[in-house]
């Protein structure tokens, strides 16, 4: 009888914990605020960007109160799993490697990557043409893995940085020859600014899902599949009720959801 009572108590405890977890009335969102136009800070220090607005829209749809926690990119998954926050909404692409560490919702946008270099360098952008060149990348990004496997093996030097802003600064100063970056970030946060007026895209559009992934999604801990499902349902809802289109229109003149 004691054994049966213990098992029943454990089952009741597990069911209660599951029911409590599925409410998710408060959700802490982890992000890195250095990836304009997706995540950045306004001059007065407020968080802004497509990811921030999408996060707020998703939380409103889920009727949850959300708060934001800033985190350096290269430590963002460890911080999630250490329970510093509950979800990552920070342009994190779905990749097979990351799926071993976290659960992903359905994607909420998908954009390709490109190389950027000064126009007078006239780089072809092929692996062979990058031999001996320095390529700046965001540490821990899909672009870092692509650059290491494709360009690094052809003789390029891949230089990782803590933030994409640091990459752009070194590109402008000539410390590196090019950067591999999300094409939207490269255009909005560099080429469309005075600092990047003499720079342009180099080589082809890079969209190999093996490296670049299957689109940006919400990442949660492996134990929180219920939260993943709630985010997926919310993404579908805001895409069908017009909220997604409204948020997208603030930042882009094209369909950022992608293929």
Interval 45-90: pLDDT, tens? 999 999 999 999 999 999 999 999 999 999 999 999 999 999 999 9
Q: Which two tokens stand for residue 177?
A: 């020859």
Band of residue 259 on the pLDDT scale cut at 50, 70, 90: confident
pLDDT higher than threshold 80 for residue 19: no
Looking at the predicted structure, is the pLDDT value of residue 240 above 70?
A: yes
Output the CA angle 180-184-189, nearest 5 degrees: 85
What integer best gives the mean pLDDT of the chain? 92
pLDDT of residue 115: 98
Q: Which residues pair with 217 in a beta bridge?
A: 107
pLDDT value at residue 9: 41
Distance CA 13, CA 254 (A): 49
CA 244 to chain CA centroid, nearest Å: 17
Ranges assigned E (strand) in 43-127: 47-48, 65-70, 87-88, 103-109, 113-118
The pair of structure tokens assigned to 184 is 């939207």
Give the whole-angstrom CA distance, residue 142 versus residue 130.
Answer: 18
Determine the pLDDT at residue 16: 43
What pLDDT, on a 0 to 100 scale, did the predictor assign at position 250?
97
Q: d(Cα 189, Cα 34) in Å, to the nearest integer?
A: 10
Architecture of domain 113-212: 3-Layer(aba) Sandwich (3.40)
Q: For residue range 119-143, list pLDDT tens digits in order.
A: 998 899 999 999 999 999 999 999 9
* pLDDT number for residue 5: 39
Q: How far apart are CA 201 and CA 256, in angstroms?
A: 19
- Residue 22's pLDDT band, with cuts at 50, 70 and 90, is low
According to CATH, the topology of domain 2-110+214-251 is D-Maltodextrin-Binding Protein; domain 2 (3.40.190)
Instruction: Give residue 8's pLDDT band: very low, low, confident or very high (50, 70, 90).
Output: very low
pTM of the model: 0.86
Helix, strand, coil shares, percent, the chain, to 5: 45, 25, 30
pLDDT value at position 4? 45
- Burial pattern 114-146, b for ≥16 Cβ within 10 A else e, equals bbbbbeeeebebebebbeebbbbbbbbbbbbbb
Q: What does the domain layout of the chain look like in residue ranges?
A: 2-110+214-251, 113-212
Mean pLDDT of 7-36: 68
Domains 2-110+214-251 and 113-212 share a fold: yes
CA proximity to 234, closest of 110, 111, 105, 109: 105
């Amino acid at each position: 009888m004691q054994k049966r009572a213990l098992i029943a108590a454990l089952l009741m405890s597990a069911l209660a914990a599951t029911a409590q977890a599925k409410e998710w009335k408060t959700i802490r969102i982890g992000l890195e605020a250095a990836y304009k136009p997706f995540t950045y800070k306004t001059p007065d220090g407020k968080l802004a960007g497509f990811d921030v607005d999408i996060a707020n829209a998703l939380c409103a749809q889920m009727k949850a109160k959300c708060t934001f926690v800033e985190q350096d990119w290269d430590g963002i998954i460890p911080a999630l799993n250490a329970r510093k926050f509950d979800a990552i909404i920070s342009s994190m692409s779905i990749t097979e490697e990351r799926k071993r560490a976290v659960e992903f919702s359905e994607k909420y946008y998908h954009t390709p990557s490109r190389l950027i270099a000064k126009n007078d360098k006239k780089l072809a952008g092929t692996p062979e043409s990058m031999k001996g060149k320095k390529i700046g990348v965001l540490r821990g990004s899909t672009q870092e893995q692509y650059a290491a496997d494709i360009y690094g093996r052809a003789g390029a030097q891949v230089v990782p940085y803590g933030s994409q802003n640091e990459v752009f600064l070194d590109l402008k100063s000539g410390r590196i020859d090019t950067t591999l970056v999300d094409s939207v970030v490269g255009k909005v946060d560099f080429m469309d600014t005075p600092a990047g007026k003499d720079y342009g895209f180099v080589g082809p559009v890079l969209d190999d899902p093996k490296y670049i992934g299957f689109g940006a999604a919400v990442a949660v801990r492996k134990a929180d599949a219920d939260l993943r499902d709630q985010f997926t349902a919310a993404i579908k809802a805001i895409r069908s009720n017009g909220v997604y289109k409204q948020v997208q229109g603030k930042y882009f003149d094209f369909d950022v959801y992608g293929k």
